[in-house]
Amino acid sequence: MNPAGDEESRSRSGVRDGRHAVVVGGSLAGLLAAHVLAGHADRVTIVERDRFPDGTKPRPGVAQGRHPHVLLEGGQLALESLLPGFLAQLRAAGAPRVGLPSDMVLRQDERWFRRVPATTHMYTGSRAQLEELLRRRVLADPVIGVLEGTEAVGLAGDASRVRGVLLRDRSDGARGEPRTLAADLVVDASGSGTRAPQWLTAIGAQAPREETIDTGLAYASRVYRGKDGVLGGDTVGYYVYPTPAQVHGGGALPLEDGTHLVIVSGLRGDEPPTDDDAFASYARRLPHPPLHRWLDEAEPLSPAFGYRRTANVRRRYDLPGRRPAGFLATGDALCTFNPVYGQGMAVAAMSAAALRDALADPRRTPTTARVQRALLAASRQAWDISAGADRAMPGATGTAVAGRPVDRAVGWYLGRVQERYPSDPVVGRAFRAVLTLSAPVTALFAPPVARAVLFGAPLPAPAEPPAAPEEQGTAALP
């Protein structure tokens, strides 16, 4: 593990020589990074500023923990490869597995989606449930230890190598003197609020260049229980995707206890309210009558919680600069996405799989720079999707809003894809695979898809929200 040591021969032979890795942050990204590192170090320490809750309660440090989370198919595949049997555990715990598009009433760009047979599935249970299952599984490894209620406040070392992390017990407050925890490798998984760029500057290294795109999107969420515990008939969820033509978005997703988490979103200057009565009124801005009617009869079970930090931020640790060996960034500390696209948990798992593969690659020495590039590559497709969509939103700001010249040509093709995927089974299957990070973007240029996009007219979309899924055989799936 060359990011955590200097001797290539020991890395290749598997001799670990008392190596210690520290992971800052006990999030999904941090837990999964620790799990991978446990195969390469004698000791892995997770430093977590919170104290982990008992059971499936939201963790205070997860600012959006009370809002909808989905585990996309790309993340499911990565998680199962890292922790075999985890998806079975998730299902056994009651996490809803929702088929797309058959199980949901969906709308985008003023089109209702045909509810053709599902070609992909996502899990929509609470983040707290998934984190609790993951903690239980990962922390059972005796190699991994946790320092709870402990805050990382800096790095030890210099511009050439990080040699540990500076810690402060949160019970001491700002008055406590930082102590040093020596480490061969420090992984920043502290989330979107990371202070690592400042820590690097403090030891004489260079902070990464940041790319940002901020639409000003804000959202609010509230838990409801529907009449008889369901949304209605064969429908398990609703969703309206925000677009430049329809800037209000939202819907309802099922949770593991039979309730539904309702979310509404709007842009800067028109943020959803967290006042209980105003929340339901705001939902009426959606072109989504079934959700309006359902909310009129549903029982609210929680207050409305708001969230406004939705900018896309990518920290380019992969670019040349004066950066130390022995330091890596992953998860939201590396690349933060607008949460409305539901990519964060999937990318955390995919990044851990990339870390595993980079450290185990027998063909290449896993240097810090090489491993960091692999981590960024794991998030690239999600960034292209999220950033590409947000660049087109009115009022978007940031250093990466302009995009590249090639984006205009790609945007023309993708515009035709989006016109067709709500109603065309061939285009829809490919686009859903790309959006759920289970297939590369090149899937959109496969011959059957390209023919439909370039030469076929958009198929008629339902005039009204479809109340039930189409039966198998009514759509010619490839």
DSSP readout, 417-438? Answer: HHHHTTT-HHHHHHHHHHHTTS
Q: Which range among 53-57, 99-103, 360-364 shows the weakest confidence by mean pLDDT?
A: 53-57
Which band of pLDDT confidence, cut at 50, 70 and 90, is reported for residue 61? confident
> For strand 185-188 and strand 327-329, is the pairing parallel, antiparallel, or unpaired?
parallel
- Given a cut of 60, whether residue 162 has pLDDT beyond it is yes
- Given a cut of 80, whether residue 133 has pLDDT beyond it is yes
Q: What is the distance between the alpha carbons of residues 2 and 19, in angstroms, rounded to a whole number?
A: 11
- Given a cut of 70, whether residue 13 has pLDDT beyond it is no
Identify residue 79 by its one-letter amino acid code: L
Contacts of 123 (CB under 8 A, 6+ apart): 70, 71, 76, 90, 95, 96, 97, 98, 130
- Given a cut of 60, whether residue 476 has pLDDT beyond it is no
Q: What is the distance between the alpha carbons of residues 208 and 229, in angstroms, rounded to a whole number?
A: 48
Element of type H or E holding 152: strand 150-157
| pLDDT (average), residues 139-153 | 96
Distances (CA, A) of 184 to 41, 189, 203, 208, 325: 9, 16, 16, 21, 9
| pLDDT (average), residues 98-117 | 94
**What pLDDT, on the 0 to 100 scale, is given for residue 384?**
94
Angle 125-127-132 (CA atoms, 0-180°, nearest 5)?
105
Q: Which pair of tokens denotes residue 65?
A: 């923990």
**What pLDDT, on the 0 to 100 scale, is given for residue 2?**
57
**What pLDDT, on the 0 to 100 scale, is given for residue 477?**
40
Q: What is the distance between the alpha carbons of residues 5 and 147, in angstroms, rounded to a whole number?
A: 23
- Given a cut of 70, whether residue 474 has pLDDT beyond it is no
**What pLDDT, on the 0 to 100 scale, is given for residue 175?**
67
Which band of pLDDT confidence, cut at 50, 70 and 90, is reported for residue 229? low
First to last CA, the chain: 43
Three-state DSSP state, 39: coil
**What pLDDT, on the 0 to 100 scale, is given for residue 1?**
59
Percent of the chain's residues with pLDDT above 90: 77
Three-state DSSP state, 140: coil
The pTM for the full model equals: 0.93
Report residue 244 CA to chain centroid gap.
22
Q: What is the distance between the alpha carbons of residues 145 and 37, in angstroms, rounded to a whole number?
A: 12
Q: Are 422 and 475 in contact (CB under 8 A)?
A: no
Which band of pLDDT confidence, cut at 50, 70 and 90, is reported for residue 343? very high
| pLDDT (average), residues 357-379 | 94
**What pLDDT, on the 0 to 100 scale, is given for residue 292?**
84
**What pLDDT, on the 0 to 100 scale, is given for residue 293?**
85
Most confident of 20-34, 229-243, 271-285, 296-310: 20-34
How many residues does the structure list for the chain? 478
Q: Are 258 and 95 in contact (CB under 8 A)?
A: no
User: Within the chain, what is the greatest distance between any pair of CA atoms?
Assistant: 68
Q: What is the distance between the alpha carbons of residues 419 and 459, in angstroms, rounded to a whole number?
A: 9
- Given a cut of 80, whether residue 255 has pLDDT beyond it is yes
> For strand 185-188 and strand 120-123, is the pairing parallel, antiparallel, or unpaired?
unpaired
Q: Are 389 and 434 in contact (CB under 8 A)?
A: no
Helices and strands in the chain: count of H runs, count of E runs? 13, 21
Partners of 209 in beta bridges: 316
Three-state DSSP state, 172: helix
**What pLDDT, on the 0 to 100 scale, is given for residue 460?**
94
Q: What secondary structure does DSSP assign to 250-307, as a single string?
A: EEEEE-TTS-EEEEEEE-TTSPPP-SHHHHHHHHTTSS-HHHHHHHHHSEE-S--EEE
Percent of the chain's residues with pLDDT above 70: 94
| pLDDT (average), residues 427-444 | 97
- Of 70, 98, 111, residue with least CA distance to 421: 111
Report the 10 Å Cβ neighbour count for 376.
21
- Of 45, 299, 14, 279, residue with least CA distance to 147: 45
**What pLDDT, on the 0 to 100 scale, is given for residue 7?**
35
**What pLDDT, on the 0 to 100 scale, is given for residue 170?**
82
Kindly report, residue by residue over 259-308, the tens digit of the pLDDT: 999 999 999 999 999 988 899 889 988 877 888 888 988 999 999 999 99
| HSE value, Cβ hemisphere, 13 Å, CA-based, for 86 | 24
Partners of 239 in beta bridges: 106, 251
Q: Are 309 and 192 in contact (CB under 8 A)?
A: yes
Partners of 313 in beta bridges: 212, 336
**What pLDDT, on the 0 to 100 scale, is given for residue 276?**
83
Domains and CATH numbers, the chain: 2-67+132-213+310-388 (3.50.50.60), 217-307 (3.30.70)
Report the 10 Å Cβ neighbour count for 154.
19
Q: Are 96 and 229 in contact (CB under 8 A)?
A: no
- Given a cut of 70, whether residue 53 has pLDDT beyond it is yes
Q: Are 405 and 414 in contact (CB under 8 A)?
A: no
> For strand 185-188 and strand 20-24, is the pairing parallel, antiparallel, or unpaired?
parallel
- Given a cut of 80, whether residue 5 has pLDDT beyond it is no
- Given a cut of 60, whether residue 16 has pLDDT beyond it is no
Q: Are 118 and 100 in contact (CB under 8 A)?
A: yes
**What pLDDT, on the 0 to 100 scale, is given for residue 3?**
64
Kindly report, residue by residue over 178-198, the tens digit of the pLDDT: 999 999 999 999 999 999 999
Query: What secondary structure letter does DSSP report for 206?
Result: P
**What pLDDT, on the 0 to 100 scale, is given for residue 21?**
98
**What pLDDT, on the 0 to 100 scale, is given for residue 475?**
46
Q: Is the dihedral of CA 87, 91, 95, 100 positive or negative?
A: positive
Q: Which pair of tokens denotes residue 433?
A: 């695979």
